Structure formats: C-alpha cells, structure tokens
Amino acid sequence: MPVITNIEDLRILAKARVPRMFYDYADSGSWTESTYRANSADFQAIKLRQRVAINMENRSTASTMIGQKVAMPVAIAPTGLTGMQSADGEIKAANAAKKFGIPFTLSTMSICSIEDVAKETGGHPFWFQLYVMRDRDFIARLIDRAKAAHCSALMITLDLQILGQRHKDIKNGLSAPPKLTIPNIVNMATKVRWGLGMLGTQRRGFGNIVGHVKGVENMGSLSEWTAKQFDPALSWDDVEWIKNRWGGKLIIKGIQDVEDARLAVNSGADAMIVSNHGGRQLDGAPSSISALPAIVDAVGKDIEVHMDGGIRSGQDVLKARALGARGTYIGRAFLYGLGAMGEEGVTKALEIIHKELDLTMAFCGHTQIDNVDKGILLPGTYPV
C-alpha cells in the first residue's frame, strides 16, 4: 500500500482500482471541461498571508452549518452513483462522515436507498438531496421518505433541469449496473478488488427509484424514465411547494448569479450553495470560488452561503471560508478516497483535509475557524 498524504494520492489509487466508466463519471466535466478545471485552478491562484510569533495553541476547526454542529465547515456533497465507486459506497461514506462529525448528503440518484443509509448508519441523521422531476407524486413520496428516515435537511438541486453534455460518459456508455460490453468486461476484469465488493452486495441499481415508481422495475425502463423525468419547467413556485411539503431545514444548490441568489433568499431557504455542479453542466461558467464573493456581498447577511466545486485540500476550505462561505462541500475528494479504499479511504480524505485546514489556519495566525476572514488572504490574489 502506498503512503497516502494528500487527495491526489487517493485519486491515483482510485483510478487504478475503479472501472474506467465510473472513475471517468466522477473525474470529468462537460464539453471542454474548462469550468471543471477552473474550479481547482482558481483556488490555487489565491495566496495566503503567513503570520508568525502568534500563539497557535488550543486550535479548533469546529463550527456550524445551518445550525448543526460540525467538526469542520465541510460536508460530503451529494454525488450520483456513489455506490458504483465502491460497493455500498453511500453507506460507507455516511458512516465515515458520522464518525468524523460532519454532514453526509445522499443523492436522489444514489445506488443505496434512503432507507438503506438510514438503517446501516444506525438512524444517524443525514441530509437528502432532491432532483425535481415531472412526476410530482414521486417527488412527494421521496420527501416523505426522507422525513421518515429523519433526514435533518433537504437540499434542492436547481441546476440540473437538463443534462450537460459529458463526453466521457457518452463514450463509456455509462449505466448502473454497467452494460456487459466487451470493452467493459475487459476493463472490469482488471479491477478485482472492486469486482469482489460488487459480488458481495445486491445494491447495484438506483435504490431510490427502482421499485418506488410505477413501471420502473429494471435498468432498461429506468433509463427511459430518467430521460423523460428531469423537469425543464422547474420554477421557484416548485421550490415553494417543496418547502411547504418538507417543513424542515432547506438548502438551495446550484446558485451562480447574484439575481438568483436574491431569489433564493426570497424562497425562505436556510442556506444556498454557490455551485456549478462541479463543472458538469454549463461549461464556460465561472468557477465557484470566483462567483462566491459577489453573492456573499449581496445576500450574506440574509442567508447562510455555502459553496462547492474544486475543493481538494484543507487550504481550499480555508480560502472559501475567508471569502464568506459558512460551509463547503467535497465531492470528488471523498469519491477518490472511496474508490481507493472504501470507508477507510473516505476517512483518510477527511483526515487529510482536516489536518491541512488546521495547520494552514495556524500559519495564518488564527486558532478558531469562526474568526477567519479575508485578512488571511494576500490582497490582489482573490476575487472581489
């Protein structure tokens, strides 16, 4: 086993262990992937101010996100097909997050169902992410299932009314479970650890959908149903209906524009996530970190602002916090850990990010994460 010291080490190991179809699904963007790359590159352009001769004892990265205590201002982002990176992947990631003391968010398009995760994590509250589809009766039942599972927040994703063109997914023929084509069989035959895990579980389809929607009993009918169900007519009226049906903490995901941020405030949501869907939707959109400051300036006093996109280190978390994000989300970073080493890998990813966050905060002259602001950044290197 190689020595793992950073998220890049986990990515390299995941690439070696996860079938190409599912690794590419996690590690890619839409069209030219310019926004996908910018999400990380724009973090790197921001420089930090080192301070010295300051007492660095008694440090704490503990904070809150939507009023819930967190060990660090990081949550696991909702990612589709997580259970295809590693068998029962959503359960493994949720357990790692629970033990670490941060939120886990389950995607509508997960492999393990809401009920699976609730049962296997001992009923520990997690967050549930909702895609709004044409079948409003199904959406209502999904919300009710999340309530029954004691999810402590509902996250509505608004930036996937239609699907961005992702070239790698099209070329790989992405499906869950994977289609048994000759190239797929040959590739999967080299991923022995992954294959043995999949043989040990029955969870290989979209657990929140199959068996819960009339006429969707297999993967063939699911593909047809999904293509028809994402709702291009989604509006803020739908958000109001969902909010009333849910009745609990609500997070709006997919905000990139100040005007939309103000509409999110008007919706009555508890938080919004500045996000471009990991560069997987509108290629050519700004990076999340570059879009963050203007949105914080416009609505930060009225709603809790979070962000995702491009976070690969604890330094990235600290920079986002300095620019006004109350919370951050990691998607690919935890998926690399999951694909590399299962639950142990997710835990390792969280440990790496936490250590980097803690040490960098100290080098910048702070001991409490809630006291960090733009003062830790070198003027002229960060977006305003």
| pLDDT tens, position by position, 19-61 | 999 999 999 999 999 999 999 999 999 999 999 999 999 999 9
Q: Is 150 designated active site?
A: no
The answer to whether the CB of 112 falls within 8 A of the CB of 208 is no
> Number of helices and strands (H, E) in the chain?
15, 10
Q: Is 50 annotated as a binding residue?
A: no
Residue 247 annotated as lining a ligand binding site: no
Q: Is 277 annotated for ligand binding?
A: yes
Cβ burial, residue 54 (10 Å; 0-12/13-18/19+): exposed
Q: What pLDDT, on a 0 to 100 scale, did the predictor assign at position 30?
A: 96
Q: Are 219 and 175 in contact (CB under 8 A)?
A: yes
What domains lie within the chain, and their CATH numbers? Answer: 7-376 (3.20.20.70)
Where helices occur in 329-382 by DSSP H, the ranges are 332-363
- DSSP class of residue 381? S
Where the chain has pLDDT below 70, the residues are 219-223
Burial label, 199 (beta-carbon count in 10 A; 0-12, 13-18, 19+): exposed
3-state DSSP percent of the chain in helix, strand and coil, to 5: 45, 10, 40
80 labeled part of a ligand binding site: yes
Confirm whether residue 108 is marked as ligand binding: no
Position 163 scores a pLDDT of: 86
Active-site residue, selected from the candidate residues 124, 212, 277, 366: 277
pLDDT digits (tens, 9 = 90+) for 62-103: 999 999 999 999 999 999 999 999 999 999 999 999 999 999
Burial of 59 (0-12, 13-18, 19+ CB in 10 A): middle
